[in-house]
Chain A
Amino acid sequence: GDSVTQTEGPVTVSESESLIINCTYSATSIAYPNLFWYVRYPGEGLQLLLKVITAGQKGSSRGFEATYNKETTSFHLQKASVQESDSAVYYCALGDITGNTGKLIFGLGTTLQVQP
């Protein structure tokens, strides 16, 4: 079936350190999967961080980047130097661009704690 597996949290890093949150997916019923990273900051709703709809492309936002790798079925989230304000829960998600079901398949979420 369709599924997303991401790094189990919590992940704790110090400010200015680099970060990688792994995400792999299985898209057996989706012909053209879109890949997303969403973020939920404390006390806020779910926000789109970045998305990539074409395999081989890289998305970036707020210093984060992720590359859609169809060969390894991965979409790892990376940042070279994290800040305390990056502390949040990060969700990798897989979506189907066809039809109107709008279904997103989410990973369990990874809680990131950045220490000052």
Chain B
Amino acid sequence: AQTIHQWPVAEIKAVGSPLSLGCTIKGKSSPNLYWYWQATGGTLQQLFYSITVGQVESVVQLNLSASRPKDDQFILSTEKLLLSHSGFYLCAWTRDSSDYTFGSGTRLLVI
């Protein structure tokens, strides 16, 4: 069975500090991977997607970056957090474009 694991579950970080969020998918080779984000009071929006190792496409510019160092790993990061980065981050994978599976998410508060 495929599993998706996100870490950490929650973070409180200072403005200007670095951030790294991770996502690992087990049991599925060559998945399409995605990062979504929801600001407080906002809607979930796609930030990045990746269809293969080493290739990441940016969808929304938020001073964040993403990388896919391994087939089963997707990392979201920034060197300097902004207050506006607070929110809920979700990783997802698809088997095909009609079947998305989401992780349990990371809640980030930037202070």
Contact = CB atoms under 8 A, between A and B. Distances in A.
Contacts of A115: none
Contact of A95 (B43, B57, B97, B103): B97
Q: Which bucket holds chain A's interface residue count?
A: 20 to 34
Contacts, number: 62
Interface of B: 32, 34, 36, 42-46, 49, 51, 57, 59, 90, 92, 94, 96-105
A102 B32 contact: yes
11 contacts: A34-B97, A48-B100, A53-B98, A91-B44, A95-B97, A100-B51, A101-B49, A104-B36, A104-B44, A104-B46, A109-B43
Give the most central of B44, B59, B92, B97: most A CB within 10 Å. Answer: B97
Give the most central of B32, B43, B59, B103: most A CB within 10 Å. Answer: B43
Contact of A106 (B43, B51, B96, B99): B43
